[in-house]
Amino acid sequence: MATFFLIIIYSAFISLGLPDSLLGVGWPAMQPYFNVPFGFAGFVSMTVSGGTIVSSLLSGKLIKRFGTGKLTLISVFMTAVALFGVSIAPSFIWLMVLAVPLGLGAGAVDSGLNEYIAEHYKAHHMSWLHCFWGVGAMIGPIIMSQFIANKDSWRNGYLIVSIIQFILVAVLFFALPLWDKVANLSRGDAAEAESASQEPDSTHKGLLYPLKVKGVKIALVAFLFYCGVESTMGLWGSSYLVKARGLDAATAAVWVSFYYGSITVGRLLAGFVTMKVSNKILIRSGEIIVLLGAVLLLLPLPNTFSLFGFIMIGLGCAPIYPCMLHETPVRFGKQDAQMVMGFQMAVTYIGATFLPPVFGFIAANSTMLIMPLFILVYITAMLFSSEKVNLFMDKKLKLTAEQ
């Protein structure tokens, strides 16, 4: 039963990745229809991000009230409706309106599923979960590309993805009873389940309560700068290769695809490695690999080394994010994990939304050559904050052992 249910959760994460790249791929065909400036896609994207941040912050309280199963069902339904709405949207203002439920649904699903896996499944499942998100993020553009060759058929791309989401809604509806059953099985025995039920209830704790939990603030810094690395590389990597390294756009696009591919493959492999190696070691190893990749980009070496730098950064990023998420209940306790997870996801989206534009503004007024330096600064800040969290955890374990 637990394995069958896990397949459903993996499917939910594929569906979470499906819409993420649709706007970027479809916008060149959508923009002439809506007759707005090309840059208006940024307003839609930021509205989605804003909704995602809000729902992530509220997810802890919503999960406490409705449960992960019902919240996931409602959120995926919201996403499906929003995507269907985009497929028939008559004007740009409707895209802005529909971006709100699209963002709210995505944030709640992301936070809820990550917390559920972190609490009830082993670390390798978290790595594979995010690998499946990558699968969804790759399938989305493939679906859209099959339609945008025909005039106005970008709508069919959104329609197909919305139908996939509605099918998932039906599956999640019939699977609602499984959420609690699998959670109870994962606790191991009745005594442990009773102990879990007696944990302090955080339902009535304030919205900003997670910031009062020891170690959370510095952990959030690690999440922020991780996103600075991953999203800056994704958004500006191609521009760096063209403007700073002199590659043609087609070659640069292929090299960036190697970056994303190395993240996806790396997470698949990391799932197996977590069976033998702790999350802490994998996080630290990933940070060091990213650091070496950034140094490789920074040095005045032949362009071939830039490709290795991109692949190294991708492979280094692969285990960091899922392993940090999986550590949440261990670091901060199961009773606070849901609310803390929501804050971690919110900071993730804040980093992905704002750090790449900050770099873009600075690079536009200087040179793209500084991108490896930014990556180096981001990963150094993350390594420092991550090790601070480890020191906090070591002290916490020592105090527990003494008691």
Split at pLDDT 50, 70, 90, the class of 198 is: very low
Q: Tell me: pLDDT of 382 over 90.
A: yes
Q: Tell me: pLDDT of 180 over 80.
A: no
- In total, the chain counts a number of residues equal to 403
Q: Tell me: pLDDT of 88 over 90.
A: yes
Does residue 24 or residue 33 have the better pLDDT? 33
Q: Tell me: pLDDT of 192 over 50.
A: no
Q: Tell me: pLDDT of 204 over 70.
A: no
Identify whether the C-beta of residue 316 lies closer than 8 Å to the C-beta of residue 294: no
- pLDDT at residue number 290: 96
Q: Tell me: pLDDT of 43 over 70.
A: yes
Q: Rounded CA gap, 238 and 300, in Å?
A: 18
Per-residue pLDDT of 330-358, as tens digits, reads 888 877 777 888 888 889 888 888 888 88
Identify whether the C-beta of residue 76 lies closer than 8 Å to the C-beta of residue 12: yes
Q: Tell me: pLDDT of 14 over 90.
A: no
Mean pLDDT, residues 274-281 taken together: 90
- pLDDT at residue number 188: 54
376-389 core/surface letters (b: 16 or more CB in 10 A; e: else)? bebbebbbebbbbb
Give the least confident one: 49-58, 114-123, 394-403: 394-403
Split at pLDDT 50, 70, 90, the class of 151 is: low
Tell me which amino acid residue 130 is.
H
Does residue 54 or residue 398 have the better pLDDT? 54
Q: Rounded CA gap, 220 and 304, in Å?
A: 35
Tokens 């959508």 sit on residue: 30
Split at pLDDT 50, 70, 90, the class of 197 is: very low
Per-residue pLDDT of 228-237, as tens digits, reads 898 888 878 8
Percentage of the chain beyond pLDDT 70 is 92
Q: Tell me: pLDDT of 315 over 90.
A: yes
41-45, 62-66, 188-192, 322-326: which has the highest mean pLDDT? 322-326
Q: Rounded CA gap, 356 and 233, in Å?
A: 8
Closest CA to 61 of 191, 249, 205, 221: 205
Q: Tell me: pLDDT of 377 over 60.
A: yes
Split at pLDDT 50, 70, 90, the class of 90 is: very high
Q: Rounded CA gap, 68 and 321, in Å?
A: 21
**Token reading at 98:** 């529909």
- The residues near 166 (Cβ < 8 Å, ≥ 6 apart) are 80, 84
Q: Rounded CA gap, 385 and 391, in Å?
A: 10
Q: Nearest 5°: CA angle at 177, between 175 and 179?
A: 80
Split at pLDDT 50, 70, 90, the class of 144 is: confident
Does residue 204 or residue 167 have the better pLDDT? 167
- pLDDT at residue number 196: 42
Enter the pTM of the model.
0.76
Split at pLDDT 50, 70, 90, the class of 166 is: very high
Identify whether the C-beta of residue 256 lies closer than 8 Å to the C-beta of residue 310: yes
